[in-house]
Amino acid sequence: MGYEYKRILTIQDISCVGQCSLTVALPILSACGIETAILPSAVLSTHTAGFSGFTFRDLTDDMPAIKAHWQKEGIKFDGIYTGYLGSTKQIGYVKDILDTMGKDGSVKIVDPAFADNGKLYPAFDSVYVDAMKTLCPSADILLPNITEAAFLAGVEYREAYDESYIKELLAELSKLGCATIVLTGVSYAADKTGVVVYENGQLSYYEHRRIAKGCHGTGDVYASAFTGALVRGKSLFAAAKIAADYTVRCIENTQNNPEHWYGVKFETALPELIGMLEQ
C-alpha cells in the first residue's frame, strides 16, 4: 500500500433504493482505499426526487448518544464529509461533530445537498437553508452546485450566466466563512460543463464535456469521489478533476437507459476511478 490508510466519517441519509447518499458514498470511498464510518441522518425507502410516497425516518435524536459513545471509545476521524441531512435541528448536532470529532489536521467537507436545477428538494425550506449556512464556518471545503450556492449566498439563481456571475456568487458565498469552495455544474457553453475550484479568492476551472442527459445522484457520486481522491492525498484541483472525469464516465454508462432515471450506474466505472487514483 503506497499511501497512508485513513478513516473518514460520512454523515448522510440511507435511501434504501435510488443510488444516492450512503449507498453511493460507502462503495466509492471504500474503492478509494479509505476506511469509511457512517452516521445515517435518516432512513428513506427511496430518495425524494421522482418517487412519491417514500417513507422517512429521521435519526436526529440518535445522534447525541452515538457521538457520546464514540467519544467514550476515543474514536476520531481523518476526515468528515456531510451530505443530505435529516432536519434543521440535526444540523446543530452535525456542526458539533464537525467541530469536535476530527483528528488534528483532519479535513471537513460539506456538500449542502438540499437543491438542484433552481429548486429546493421536496423536504426542505428556507429555514433549513438558513441552518445550512451555519455549517459553512465548520467546513474546510464547501461543495455546492450552482442552485445551492445561490440559495446560501442569497444571490439570484440564473440558468444562463457568465464568469462575472460565478465570481460574484463565490465572493458572496465565501462571506459565510468557508474559504475553499468547489462549485459544480458550471457551464459556459451548451456542450461543456465543469467545476470551479475557489481557494483564497483565486478561481481555477476544469472544463469537460457535458452529456445532455442529467442523471439524479451525480452530486453524490461527485462529492464521494472528490472526498476519496482528496483524502487519498490528491491536490484540491486534482481531486476535483478526477471526480469530474469519473462522474462523466458514470453518466455515460447510464444515459441510454430511460428506465434507469433514478440514479447513475457508478459501480461498473469504479475500476476506472481506482486507476485514476493510481496515476
Name the phi and psi angles at 91, rounded to 5: -60, -35
20 is a contact residue toward ligand PXL (CB under 6 A):
yes
Tell me if 243 sits within 8 A of 226, measured CB to CB.
yes
User: Which is nearer to ligand PXL, 194 or 263 (by Cβ)?
Assistant: 263
Q: Report the nearest approach of ligand PXL to the CB of residue 121 (Å).
A: 4
Stretch that binds ligand PXL, among 12-20, 85-93, 185-193, 238-246 (CB under 6 A): 12-20
Which window, 14-22, 66-74, 144-152, 200-208, contacts ligand PXL (CB under 6 A)?
14-22
The minimum distance between CB 15 and ligand PXL, in angstroms, equals: 5
**Residue among 13, 78, 140, 148 that touches ligand PXL (CB under 6 A):** 13
Q: Residue 86, interface with ligand PXL (CB under 6 A)?
A: no
Decide: is 220 part of the binding site for ligand PXL (CB under 6 A): yes
CB of 279 to ligand PXL, least distance (A): 28
Query: In the range 27-46, which residues lie near ligand PXL by CB under 6 A?
Result: 44
Among 6, 47, 95, 108, binds ligand PXL (CB under 6 A): 47
Q: Shortest distance, CB of residue 85 to ligand PXL, whole angstroms? A: 9
Is the CB of residue 42 less than 8 Å from the CB of residue 86?
yes
| Number of residues engaging ligand PXL in binding (CB under 6 A) | 14
| Beta carbon of residue 35, minimum distance to ligand PXL (angstroms, whole number) | 23
Of residues 49-78, those binding ligand PXL (CB under 6 A): 49
Among 121, 157, 161, 237, binds ligand PXL (CB under 6 A): 121
* Closest C-alpha among 16, 58, 82, 67 to residue 219: 82
What are the residues binding ligand PXL (CB under 6 A)? 13, 15, 20-21, 44, 47-49, 84, 113, 121, 217, 219-220
